[in-house]
């Protein structure tokens, strides 16, 4: 590969990673519990999302039409109004809604299910929260993918990449990691380098977390012949892209 081509791919990878960071999906967290919001915001950031707080019905009404929103997490316990009509309002805006439901809310649970909520138990169930987040579908505007990596035949969008004409849906964090790997194509990247470059709060991320996201990327690219991630044992990972 020529020096010019290598520099161009590095530039495109940097642009792609920046775009993926700038377009991180926003999750509206409806809660009046500050500690819970901070916990959720931390989890969301670690998964590649951004959190936005809504502490009243007016906050929700103002935010629900925002094009940036991908989904809503509603803390039903302690919410100052009836949550069922609020859920209907959010669902009418086309937003997936996950409800944090306490054990003392059994009477309201059925009503909330009818309103279209996905239940997330409280105290917080991380597995159910992550299942909800990873099940969020791409926004409609993600269909048009800006050409940030044409030289490598990789086109980045907010929720998917197109590799040699094949569209592959990716979670936000996998999108960032791919952009970082593309920027360093042909070079081995350690887990520590991934953490520093990709995560906003690197001090809260373990090396094992990088392995998990790399595994998800490999699974997403399993059907592609020209793109792969090589493991260099004891060192890290490298992106491999073949023209043929």
Q: What pTM did the predictor assign?
A: 0.52
Q: What is the pLDDT of residues 89-136, one digit of tens each?
A: 777 677 788 888 876 666 666 666 666 667 777 778 788 888 888 777
Give residue-wise pLDDT tens across range 180-237.
888 876 688 899 999 888 887 778 788 889 999 999 999 988 877 777 888 888 788 9
Contacts of residue 145, Cβ cutoff 8 Å, sequence gap at least 6: 155, 156, 157, 160, 161, 162
Q: How many CB atoms lie within 10 A of CB 171?
A: 20
pLDDT for 67: 59
Cα–Cα dist 40/34, whole Å: 10
Beta carbons of 76 and 159 less than 8 angstroms apart: no
């Amino acid at each position: 590969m020529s020096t010019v081509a290598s520099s161009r791919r590095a530039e495109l990878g940097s642009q792609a990673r920046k775009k993926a960071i700038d377009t991180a999906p926003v999750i509206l967290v409806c809660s009046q519990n500050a500690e819970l919001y901070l916990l959720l915001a931390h989890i969301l950031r670690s998964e590649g999302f951004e959190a936005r707080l809504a502490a009243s019905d007016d906050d929700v009404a103002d935010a629900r039409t925002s094009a940036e929103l991908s989904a809503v997490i509603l803390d039903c316990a302690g919410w100052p109004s009836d949550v069922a009509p609020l859920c209907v309002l959010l669902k009418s805006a086309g937003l997936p809604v996950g409800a944090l439901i306490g054990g003392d809310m059994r009477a309201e649970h059925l009503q909330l299910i009818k309103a279209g909520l996905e239940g997330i138990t409280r105290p917080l169930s991380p597995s159910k929260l992550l299942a909800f987040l990873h099940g969020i579908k791409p926004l409609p505007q993600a269909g048009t993918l800006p050409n940030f990596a044409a030289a490598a035949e990789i086109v980045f969008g907010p929720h998917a990449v197109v590799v040699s004409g094949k569209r592959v849906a990716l979670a936000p964090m996998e999108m960032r990691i791919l952009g970082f790997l593309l920027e360093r194509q042909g070079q081995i990247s350690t887990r520590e380098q991934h953490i520093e470059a990709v995560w906003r709060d690197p001090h809260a991320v373990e090396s094992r977390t990088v392995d998990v996201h790399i595994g998800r990327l490999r699974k997403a690219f399993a059907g592609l012949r020209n793109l792969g991630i090589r493991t260099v044992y004891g060192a890290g990972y490298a992106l491999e892209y073949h023209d043929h």
